[in-house]
Amino acid sequence: MALSGRHLRVGCELWLPWSNTTSEPDGIVKTSGVSVDMLNIIAKKLNFTYSFYRPSDREWGRELPNGSFTGMIGMCQKNEVDVALGPFVMAWDRYQAADYSTPIHYDEYGLILPRPRREVDLSGVAKPLSWQVWMSLGLSIWVCLIIGLVMNQIRKRFVGGNRLLEKEKIQMSWIIRVVLAETVDRLPSGPTARIYIITWMLVGLIMQAAYSGVLISLLVVPKVPVPVDSVEDLASYGKIPLLVIIGNYVHNIFSKAKEGVYKEVLDKAIVRRNFAEESLLWATLKREKVALFTPVIGILKHMSDDYTLTGQCNFYLAKEGILPAHYALAFPKKSDLIPHFNKWLDAQKESGIISHSIFRFTTNVTACMARPGKEGGSDLTALTFMDLSGVFFAFGIGTGFSFIIFIIEIVLKRI
């Protein structure tokens, strides 16, 4: 057999679903996951045994000013391990200290952040029409009132006759009645007034239909604003800081930026050491309302786990990713193990074993891939107070205004 019972030292660290690594009280390191499944197949084919080792700093590997590396890449650089599972993004700086295996998976870094939620919107009843439409409608009402008054005055002056005037004059109440969908009685008999009111009725009909249709759609299928969908949005929004883990690929890339959006985001970021348990990382995302750049497959895995546990979608994956990444195992420079590992890594990749092992952890993520506000699909639910809060707000404003007018009337009548 290829390695004839050789015993290998294997570096590993916590990163689900690739490796779920823990340290026992007696110092023994245990791990499981996709990387370990790959390793077990290779160990069987090449006839070797292995033991796991964790880096003391719990890092993946970043270059220090003196040229040495931290984490598992540092362990490869110092020949403290024979292979580091990772897997690692195939970056040039790390290649100076360690050699890579053949690429085993392609992914990209995505942005995960707290899922945007629907909020109480007191102006919701005004949302079906833009402010330009509301302004135009108000201006049109005033124009119609003024035109009506002018036309009445002209008819009164040049035509005269109270009987004819009553039959053909334009009533100012028609304008408001049409807008409020009230009945219009005592319609005029003259052609001028009839054309005038018919034109305004047509405008009112279209406006009522447009308003009611859009309002119903907003209530049944509410639109939840998504303020952050890219790294540029994260920088400009400014209300959700980025959580950065020292020594990982994102930290290495962002820390090299001297200007631009990467530097702007990193300057406002929360920088932490690696978490002892990955569950603590996701608990931090929920508790502290921060964002995180991490490989998409890890995001999907944790969104799936969280939905399975809570029945809710608590995280959101931004539309735009960054930093495409090819993953590979890491070895000490010029390791004789690389050709042997590559043969069986390629075989597992081409047969679909690796892809199947990865995506079996994301079976429940589909429900949370919908845009915020559409998680429930097409199922109709009862409208809540939050949905109609704008109506009650308008009712309160109108009631208060009518009470003020009532007080003014009482005062004027007593004077």
Distance between CA 179 and CA 222 in Å, rounded?
Answer: 26
Confidence of residue 403 (pLDDT cuts 50, 70, 90): low
Looking at the DSSP bridge assignments, the partners of residue 11 are 53, 84
pLDDT at 160 over 60: no
Quote the mean pLDDT of the chain: 79
Is the predicted pLDDT of residue 186 greater than 70, yes or no? no
| 103-152: pLDDT as tens digits | 998 888 888 888 887 766 666 677 777 888 888 888 887 887 777 777 77
State pLDDT tens for residues 235-284. 888 788 888 777 777 777 888 888 888 888 888 887 776 655 556 666 77
Closest CA to 218 of 121, 306, 132: 121
pLDDT of 27 higher than 90: no
Going from N- to C-terminal start, the domains of the chain cover 124-221, 389-415
Q: Residue 277: its pLDDT value, please?
A: 56
Mean pLDDT of 1-25: 83
Average pLDDT rounded to a whole number, residues 323-327: 84
Is residue 323 within 8 Å of residue 253, measured between CB atoms? yes
Tell me whether strands 105-114 and 322-331 are parallel, antiparallel or unpaired. Answer: antiparallel
pLDDT band at 168, cuts 50/70/90? low
> What is the share, in percent, of the chain residues with pLDDT greater than 70?
78
The per-residue pLDDT for 271 is: 77
Mean pLDDT of 59-66: 86
Q: Other CB atoms closer than 10 Å to residue 30's CB: what's the count?
A: 12
Local confidence band at 378 (pLDDT 50, 70, 90 cut-offs)? very low
- With a CB cutoff of 8 Å and minimum separation 6, the contacts of 238 are 268
Global pTM reads 0.62
Q: Is the peptide bond before 227 cis (omega within 30 degrees of 0)?
A: no
Question: Does residue 49 or residue 413 have the better pLDDT?
Answer: 49
107-116, 310-319, 344-353: range with highest mean pLDDT? 344-353
Q: What is the dihedral of CA 199, 203, 206, 210, to 10 degrees?
A: 180
Give the pLDDT confidence score for residue 39 in this predicted structure. 92
Q: How far apart are CA 334 and CA 98, in angstroms?
A: 8
Predicted confidence at residue 257, as pLDDT, reads 80
Confidence of residue 211 (pLDDT cuts 50, 70, 90): confident
Stretch among 2-6, 315-319, 328-332 having the lowest mean pLDDT? 2-6
pLDDT classification of 383: cutoffs 50, 70, 90: low
